[in-house]
Amino acid sequence: MAEGVTLLDSVEHRDLRVRPAAGPLPYFVPVVASEFAAAAAACPVLLTKDAETGRFYVGAMLGFQPGESLVELRAGEGFWPLHVERQGFFIAGDSIAIDPTDTRFGGQEGEPLFGDDGAPAPALRGIQQTLVQLHRGVEATQAFVDALLAHKLLEPIDVTLRFDDGTSLDLTGLYTVSLDSLHALDDAAVLTLFRAGHLQLAYAVAGSLRQIAVLAARRNRRLAA
């Protein structure tokens, strides 16, 4: 278990309250397969490599650089990342762990995690559901990424964005699904992808590329304001 993280306990943490996940959203937030459709309707869904492991993972691009958010998201409305919703909570075997220093905890604000009888309160039950979705989603998403690699369907995106203030940004280290390679697959491979649910996910990722232009236009409007 990571340093500073402690197992959630109904006795030790009986008075602990949790505030809604808040604060600035990361500009590139990991997403799992069940989130692709909703995320693709709001922002680009792309793949990149983990800096430590070198393995591919999928993320939703909310901005073009750290500290920038060009997508307005609200909990309970459309796309809201599970990775953000679980902020401060972690899976630890069959238990839940928390980072007690996270800004979601402390004080009398927020919702209780436990009822008077020590049973999980609605706020904790919601977190439990989020963690289950993430746990299952990580496995499903890795299977999807493995299928893309097996069929050689990944291609790097090569995009330079130029803005009205004269600045430019190169999008590097990002990958999407190659529709040319996808459409070149034989029928058996396509059927395999379809039955695994990977074909729909591939089209969601590829189709979300159009959102890059949408985000660039929003950035231009902000620069002009």
Domain with 31 in it: 6-224
Q: Name the CA radius of gyration of the chain, rounded.
A: 20
SS3 content of the chain, % helix, strand, coil (to 5): 35, 20, 45
Nearest to 81 by CA among 69, 97, 65: 69
Per-residue pLDDT, averaged over 110-127, amounts to: 93
Calpha distance 164→224 (Å, rounded) = 8
Is position 74 within any domain? yes
Q: In the chain, how many domains are there?
A: 1
Is position 194 within any domain? yes
Is position 1 within any domain? no
Is position 119 within any domain? yes
What is the dihedral sign for C-alpha 204, 205, 211, 215? Answer: positive
| Model pLDDT for residues 148-186, shown as the tens digit of each residue | 999 999 999 988 999 988 899 999 999 999 999 999 999
Is position 27 within any domain? yes
Amino acid at 212: I
pTM of the model: 0.90
Location of structure tokens 């299928």: 147
